[in-house]
Structure 1
Amino acid sequence: MFWVIIGIIVLLSVLLAAVILLQNPKGGLASGVAASQLMGVKRTSDLLERLTWGFAIAIMALVLSTAFVAPTSQATNEDGTVNIKRNRTKSAPAIQQPAPAAQPATQDTAKP
């Protein structure tokens, strides 16, 4: 599913680039006489603008959706980063308990 979404994103990106290139009325492909006679200059720019916004919004939505369908790796005891592996190979230093503090001898000060 993840790779299907990535493929759709790539396809929409190529189409978005083509639509953006078509929008330049002074030197783009839509400035030809046949294009302006077929749909009219005003209607062509409206359609191309709507397509641009539609492709851009679709790409953003698909990119955000990949976070939910992206494959995740389950880390086991044998897997992990380099630092985790390195840390497992080191032996842990022995923890020494502090010596108990010497307690003063109690003297019986009571007189009989």
Structure 2
Amino acid sequence: MSTIFTLFMVLIMIASILLIIIIMAQNPKGGGLSGTFGGTSSAQFGVQRTNDFMEKATWTLGIVIVALILLSVILTAKPVHTFQQTAPAKKEAPAPQTAPATNSTTTAPAKEAPAAPAK
């Protein structure tokens, strides 16, 4: 594996774990961590601020995870050629030399012996 890919995987895992923790800390009815801190209206880190922080953290981590995944695909992908490269021509082995086929029914014309000189 390349080091860039490993780095992206580690960052994606960290962001995913943080996102899980943030989501688990939220209460679907508006309580969650904000219920712990929201005793009085004069609290420095009150209910509304906690809800805003949790929502912003959730969206931010979600966007970070998607961005890291897209970057890891773009930066670690192997290049794909859109055109067909011409491969060097393969040298074909020459066909084996065979003796010419002879047909047993056809024979070559026989040479006639030279005629004897006339006396």
Q: What's the TM-score once normalised by structure 1's chain length?
A: 0.55
Quote the residue 1:31 is aligned against: 35
Aligned residues with identical type, % of pairs? 33
Quote the residue 1:78 is aligned against: none
Which of these residues, 68, 72, 75, is aligned with residue 66 of structure 1? 72
| Matching of residue 17 in structure 1 with residue 20 in structure 2 | yes
Quote the residue 1:100 is aligned against: none
| Matching of residue 3 in structure 1 with residue 6 in structure 2 | yes
Structure ranking higher in helix proportion = 1
Unaligned runs of 5+ in 2: 79-119
Quote the residue 1:42 is aligned against: 48
**Residues 71, 64 of structure 1: CA spacing in aligned structure 2 closer, same or farther, 3 A cutoff?**
closer
The structure number with the bigger radius of gyration is 2
C-alpha displacement of 1:70: 2.3
Report SS of the residue matched to 1:63.
Answer: helix
C-alpha displacement of 1:30: 4.0
Unaligned runs of 5+ in 1: 73-112
In the alignment of these two chains, the number of paired residues is: 70
Quote the residue 2:59 is aligned against: 53
- The answer to whether the 8 A contact 1:2-1:70 is kept is yes
Q: What's the TM-score once normalised by structure 2's chain length?
A: 0.52
- The answer to whether the 8 A contact 2:33-2:50 is kept is no
| Whole-angstrom distance in 1 between the partners of 2:21 and 2:50 | 14
Question: How big is each residue's C-alpha offset from its partner over 1:9-56, in whole Å with a ceiling of 9 and x where there is no partner?
Answer: 000001011111122144x34422xx2244110110001100100000
Question: How big is each residue's C-alpha offset from its partner over 1:50-105, in whole Å with a ceiling of 9 and x where there is no partner?
Answer: 01000000000101111122264xxxxxxxxxxxxxxxxxxxxxxxxxxxxxxxxx
